[in-house]
Structure 1
């Protein structure tokens, strides 16, 4: 018998596999569940029968037999952006490599209340998830994830800084509990950016911040301002309500026109809190006849696809989102007792941090003489 169906066109069963291999169905079950208590020759016979029949084990049956769902619940905000989506893809690939499944719930990070978050947790608990991963880009989501009434292990993916004290209070509640927090070392990356600007002779800059409720934006802004003070870079921070290129374009246009009306000096570099904003800035500078980098340099953050093909290619920060996703899933595996807890490259503020890399391209050059 071969193919993907059993007798009468039905899906082949574990009993048919056992009969073809000449073993008990319990032995087949041990092979499927990777038990070490099976000889090499028996395992080979069972696998050959599985391949011949095209047998696929039932996930629900395996869960019933093992009393484990092998399912991880993931609640994510910010899924319209490159970083969270890349992180989720890496989490899923790592989970699958370890025989685990993801049940994913996507929420609106701007409108998700604490009650909404608890309701989504309840839905996933009803699926018998064994652990949670929370991707929490905003303060509201972060606080909800810290305070969520779940007994399962939880791993939070977030940034080190928020805009208020409530996040720090929520973080302290997780100390010593069945939890871990991972993120990208955005503070150090921004410090590296400002240090690079200083070495290239830049002493005046505009910084286009991201939306204040996002923890990434808060971390990058705080790191920018402290680093500028350290390296004696005169900076003007420009607030924004979104990460959008269109808003960045409008705000930089306004500042350029205002400088023109007042006869004020322009900075030698603009740094943006993400690459979308840098794209909007590129358009505004072009329309004002300002050449990048001859007249003014430009630096972004996130290294999204295609920014290396902008004209000129964009200098930016690569946060290594795939590595972040793998680290989050490894923390889950460690909390479930399946692997030893991985060593964190860096830890600050109770968060295990993945390094980020400054990628220097031709949008950044030495400061022009004026």
Structure 2
């Protein structure tokens, strides 16, 4: 830093202000110092900067091990958005389903040793959500989660306040507007002429699954759709494939018809359903339409391309970092497209593709 200051003709305090994005530096001086930094290839030590500013410029991130339901893209967006703001990302994983309070406490203890400035948690399951809210810490926290589960957002908010010794609450909830997305799914399914549906539900310990099932049940009923539920205990395509085989075989035994449309809580489940349908001689969408949820990589290249819901994971990740910066540095609250149960919600959109058609009885 002293070499940079000497070459730029400024004090080392001015160099420090430039590196830390202080507003108390003129534009001309900032440009001059940055030019010297580039020429000398100077890279400030994060550890040294932390000693001076009491800030590590590091954000802790806790995610589940399975990396499904768009988590990979969310993490990518969090990392790139943090980096663009001069922050490092420290990542730790936990088993979403078997997660305990001690697991989260141990991870955060390690983060404390790194002197992290903030914590982002992708709380996919009720276990992760509960442990994240019970965590005894004053670290600014952004929790990405769904609005519904066995632990409500209201309960989570109360737990956060109970376990913080700070008079100022520095936490936020962010998620996807899954209810509106499911309303859009029901709308396009109805518009295509379908009135009889099978819904493939995800594992209910996952908050996305609980939210999507609640939304589907209420909205499909409000639209007078005949609906039955095929409950799964995992997101695996192998399970939805196996359970769909059983449904088809039962219809054969009973002489019943399959519903004209199958809506799955995830794209992976939709893949298993489509395989089962084809192996039993059913064509998609000529005989049965299929809709997924998530718009995972490759869904546009399935045969047929899958109608699904794009949850905009890159936007979610970027919003999480923007909100974290607000909690750390202060500033105006983010304005979300929607709010529900105290969760800032980003919109999702239906992506219409060839797997959704009209029922064969009205073609």
Pairwise same-fold verdict (TM > 0.5): yes
Instruction: Give the one of 325, 331, 335 matched to 2:327.
Output: 335
* 3-state SS of paired residue (2:173): strand
Alpha-carbon spacing, 1:41–1:266, altered in 2? closer, same or farther (3 Å): closer
Deviates more, 1:194-203 or 1:275-284: 194-203
Q: Name 2:195's counterpart in structure 1.
A: 203
Mapped pair 1:231 → 2:228: no
Q: CA deviation at 1:21?
A: 2.6
**Residue in 2 aligned with 1:86?**
73
Q: Could you list the runs of 5+ residues in structure 1 that have no partner in the other structure? A: 1-13
Deviation by residue 1:283-333 (Cα, 9 ceiling, x = unmatched): 111111101111110000000011111111100000111111111111111
Q: Deviations over 1:246-274 (max 9, x none)?
A: 11111101110111111111110111110
Q: CA deviation at 1:156?
A: 0.6
Whole-angstrom CA distance in 2 between matches of 1:82 and 1:140: 17
Distance in 2 between residues matched to 1:278 and 1:183, nearest whole Å: 23
Paired residue secondary structure (1:211): coil
Equivalent of residue 43 in structure 2, options 52, 56, 62: 56
Q: Distance in 2 between matches of 1:295 and 1:325?
A: 38
Q: How does 1:1-370 map to 2 (within 5 A)?
A: 14-77=1-64, 79-162=66-149, 164-165=150-151, 168-174=154-160, 177-369=169-361
SS in 2 for 1:229: helix
- State the secondary structure of the residue aligned to 1:369: helix
- CA distance in 1 between counterparts of 2:353 and 2:324 reads 36
Deviation at 1:78, TM superposition (A): 5.0
Q: Aligned pair in 2 of structure 1 residues 178, 19: CA closer, same or farther (>3 Å)?
A: closer
Offset of residue 43 of structure 1: 3.2
Query: CA separation of 1:256/1:89 partners in 2, compared to 1, >3 Å: closer, same or farther?
Result: same
Count residues in correspondence: 356
- Structure with larger Rg: 1
The alpha carbon displacement at 1:112 in A equals: 1.1
SS, match of residue 358 in structure 1: strand
Pair 37,192 (structure 1): closer, same or farther in 2 beyond 3 Å: closer
Return the alpha-carbon distance in structure 1 between the equivalents of residues 26 and 86 of structure 2.
Answer: 22
8 Å CA contact 1:259–1:265 kept in 2: the answer is yes
In terms of mean alpha carbon deviation, does 77-86 or 39-48 score higher?
39-48
Q: Residue 303 of structure 1: SS of its match in structure 2?
A: coil
Q: Give the CA deviation at 1:30.
A: 2.4
| Distance apart, 1:34 and its partner CA | 2.5
- The whole-number CA distance in structure 2 between the counterparts of 1:45 and 1:271 is 59
| DSSP-derived class of the 1:69 partner | coil
- Distance of 1:135 and 1:97 partners within structure 2: 21
| Mean Cα deviation higher: 50-59 or 168-177 | 168-177
Deviates more, 1:170-179 or 1:255-264: 170-179
Relative distance call for 1:227 and 1:82 in structure 2 (3 A) is: closer
**Structure 1 residues 166, 343: CA separation in 2 closer, same or farther (over 3 Å shift)?**
closer
TM-score by length of structure 2 reads 0.93
Unaligned runs of 5+ in 2: 162-167
Partner of 1:7: none
Please tell me whether the aligned partners of residues 142 and 167 of structure 1 are also in contact (alpha carbons under 8 angstroms).
no
Alignment partners' CA distance in 2, 1:126 and 1:169: 29
